[in-house]
Amino acid sequence: MDGEAQLNPFLRGNFAPIRSEDDFDLEVQGEIPRELRGTLYRIGPNPQFEPKDPNYHWFLGDGMVHAFRVEDGKASYRNRWVRTPRFELERQEGRGLFGAWGNPMTTDPKAAGVDGGVANTNIVCHAGHLLALVEGSRPFEVAQGSLDPIGYAESYQGRVTAHPKVDPETGEMVWFGYSTGAMPLNNQVSYGVTAADGTVVRRDDFEAPFASMVHDFMVTRNYALFPILPLTGSLERAMGGRPAYAWEPDKGAYVGVMRRDAGVETIRWFNAPACYVFHPMNAWEADGKIFADVMRYDAAPLFPNPDGSRGQATAARLVRWTFDLAGNSDAIKEETLDDLDGEFPRFDERRAGLSYRHGWFAGDTRGLKTVKTNAIAHIDLKTGVKSVYELPAGDLTSEPVFTPRSASAEEGDGWLTAVVWRAAENRSDLVVFEAQDVASGPIGMAKLPRRVPFGFHGNWVSSP
């Protein structure tokens, strides 16, 4: 590892990449319920070569899928890189070629005209297709089980969010893309819909108030909500050697609200004090209002100020935003729901876009204002009661993923799975909790012989 890599925090510790693709049968401790059958697919950045650009960021590494297969109380593991055109070109050349955030000033000429997507942020299964997603490219399909590459889903015709929403009532997958114009780092946003059979049936473009990193959005039964928050993108800034994305609170914070059956020209822009949200938990509508539960930061973490100076340390907390559709005010009302710092909120997605009761997230009980989380929390939004499992000192957890006990089980009745890094041993475990009793700790775990680097998102795909 060269000197720049040693200094870059996103290339050290459990952020550092692993260099092998493996298949392991895992030792199980405790008991993994026999009724829990399927695969937890997780994905994250794992650069195959040392990055060319000294401004390498965690969000920019080649995607690697980590698949945990669970059946009859046993578990196995498989990991594979997502073999995008970028991955294949760099493997052919034996070195990194691409600049950070697509910066042409730091991209090797051999990469000119080659799609730079890394497919590293989320992995979802819709209409039988397992899609590796990143917000700068089309979905890249991989085969369930084998993880062999199938290729880009060409029908999407451009960038797609890493966080689509599947409507539990219609089976539609609702999505968006940002910076979808011809030049990088622009304010064009696309809104799209994929039918339950996997056919893309809509893609419309509109202009946001400014160019922003729009990592996620919210969808209810009838509405889509687009948060345009002041983590701004600037090609001019990037080509001048300053940050491509930076925190500019003076730009303000906006959320565009649009009926799903209407045109993009009908978007109504609501506003809030400057803040940032990577991930909502869920959103729904009632009595002429929209409610959205989101993990809200005072400032965007992990990103600098426009002049390149370090941004402020900040952590997210769960808040509820209320949009009064019938009122005259475009101000978003905000209510704090919990006081534990956290990230990666999840819920029972059979209630996606609908009113719900149970939520889970990765928490930080140490107050360190970091994305490295040491606890898993369950919150009952009806009673306000929260339960927390704190990991042993030094250990850190990924996003917790909910799986229902059966298709007909009541909301929140099921299991929670997560991947935990055991710091002292420098390896990882798959852990399984009773979803509404996380405070009691894991009921079972599957032990890996090595670590899984810090990643982003995952989803459970049940076996028949």
Do 395 and 423 meet the contact criterion of CB atoms below 8 Å apart?
Answer: yes
**Per-residue confidence (pLDDT) for residue 10, from 0 to 100:** 93
Q: For residue 92, give its domain range.
A: 1-162
Residue 287 placed within a domain: no
Average pLDDT, integer, range 25-39: 98
What is the pLDDT at residue 103? Answer: 82
Alpha carbons 403 and 57: distance in angstroms, whole number: 31
CA separation for the pair 439, 117 (Å, rounded): 39
pLDDT tens, position by position, 309-357:
999 999 999 999 999 999 999 999 999 999 999 999 999 999 999 999 9
299 Cβ neighbours under 8 A, 6+ residues apart: 247, 249, 274, 275, 276, 311, 312, 314
Answer positive or negative: Cα dihedral of 27, 452, 166, 268. Answer: positive
Residue 303 domain flag:
no
Give the tens place of pLDDT for each residue, 431-455.
999 999 999 999 999 999 999 999 9
Considering the domain boundaries, does residue 1 fall inside one? yes
When pLDDT is cut at 50, 70 and 90, the band that residue 76 belongs to is: very high
pLDDT at residue 398 is higher than 60: yes
β-pair partners for 377: 361, 388
Q: How many CB atoms lie within 10 A of CB 365?
A: 16
In a domain, 116, yes or no: yes
Residue 175 pLDDT greater than 50, yes or no: yes
Residue 190 belongs to a domain: no
Domain presence at residue 230: no
On the question of pLDDT at 1 being above 70, the answer is no
pTM of the model: 0.96
Asked if 229 contacts 209 with a C-beta cutoff of 8 angstroms, the reply is no
Number of domains in the chain: 1
Q: What is the DSSP letter of 331?
A: B
Asked if residue 120 is part of any domain, the answer here is yes
Per residue in 222-252, pLDDT (tens digit) is 999 999 999 999 999 999 989 999 999 999 9
**Residue carrying the six token digits 């948060």:** 227
| Rounded CA separation 22/419 (Å) | 17
Q: Does the residue 225 lie in any domain?
A: no
Q: Say what percent of the chain tops pLDDT 90.
A: 94
- Answer positive or negative: Cα dihedral of 206, 209, 210, 213: negative
Give one DSSP letter per residue of 283-316, joined into a string.
Answer: EEEETTEEEEEEEEESS-TT---TTSPPPPP---
Looking up tokens 């890996």 gives 448
